[in-house]
Amino acid sequence: MPKHTLDRTDRRILATLQQNARLANVELARAAGLSPSPCSRRLRELEESGVIRAHATLIDPAAVGLPVSVFVRVTLQQQIERNLEGFEATVSALPEVMECYLMTGDADYLLRIVVPDVEAYKSFVVDRLTRIPGVSNITSSFALKQVKYGTALPIPEGE
């Protein structure tokens, strides 16, 4: 992907879209201080360069029967490339895994899992997670309450 240098106008477009991705181009242009045609061109450039990776709809997990969030620390037997790649490929294909990070510290990975209930989580661990080759330890922490959840990056205004 080509590198895209963000100017102040690009940053205004991004900040505005993070608040409401469904804005019509005319409204987005007004918020960014542009006319519609240059705004549309800039938006296309931001998408093509990969600055904007995707457009998504955020859904309340409880509203669709997935009220339980579990943070899982996973340690592998060995941190060798084959184990890391295999683990990452496997968890990337599991729909319950919302996020996966390779970590420093005591655990190799931190996952965020969503499930309908504790029984479903138990099945997820026993039937899927423990069967991934190279997994040696799994530590789970259940979220009791979501205090903050954000998707908008704190984009600095720039030049």
Write the CATH number for 84.
Answer: 3.30.70.920
How far apart (Å, rounded) are the C-alpha atoms in residues 110 and 49? Answer: 29
Does the pTM surpass 0.75? The reply is: yes
Could you tell me the CATH number of the domain that includes residue 37?
1.10.10.10
* Mean pLDDT for the stretch of residues 7-23: 95
Residue carrying the six token digits 């099945």:
123
Same domain assignment for residues 82 and 23: no
Q: Are 51 and 9 in contact (CB under 8 A)?
A: no
129-148 CB burial, b ≥16 within 10 A, e <16? beebebbeebeeeeeeeeee
Number of domains, the chain? 2
Same domain assignment for residues 90 and 31: no
Same domain assignment for residues 42 and 81: no
Same domain assignment for residues 85 and 106: yes
Q: What is the DSSP letter of 78?
A: -
Residue 147 placed within a domain: no
Same domain assignment for residues 94 and 133: yes
Q: For residue range 19-59, list pLDDT tens digits in order.
A: 999 999 999 999 999 999 999 999 999 999 999 999 999 99
Residue 25 placed within a domain: yes
Domain range for 26: 8-48
Q: For residue range 66-102, list pLDDT tens digits in order.
A: 999 999 999 999 999 999 999 999 999 999 999 999 9
Residue carrying the six token digits 């990969």:
50
Share of the chain above pLDDT 90, in %: 92
Q: Strands 97-102, 68-76: parallel, antiparallel or unpaired by DSSP? A: unpaired
Residue 98 placed within a domain: yes
| Count of other CB atoms within 10 angstroms of residue 17 | 19
Q: Are 101 and 88 in contact (CB under 8 A)?
A: no
Residue 117 placed within a domain: yes
Residue 56 placed within a domain: no
Residue 157 placed within a domain: no
Torsion of CA 130, 131, 134, 137, to 10 degrees: 0
Q: What is the DSSP letter of 105?
A: S
Q: Are 129 and 74 in contact (CB under 8 A)?
A: yes
Same domain assignment for residues 93 and 127: yes
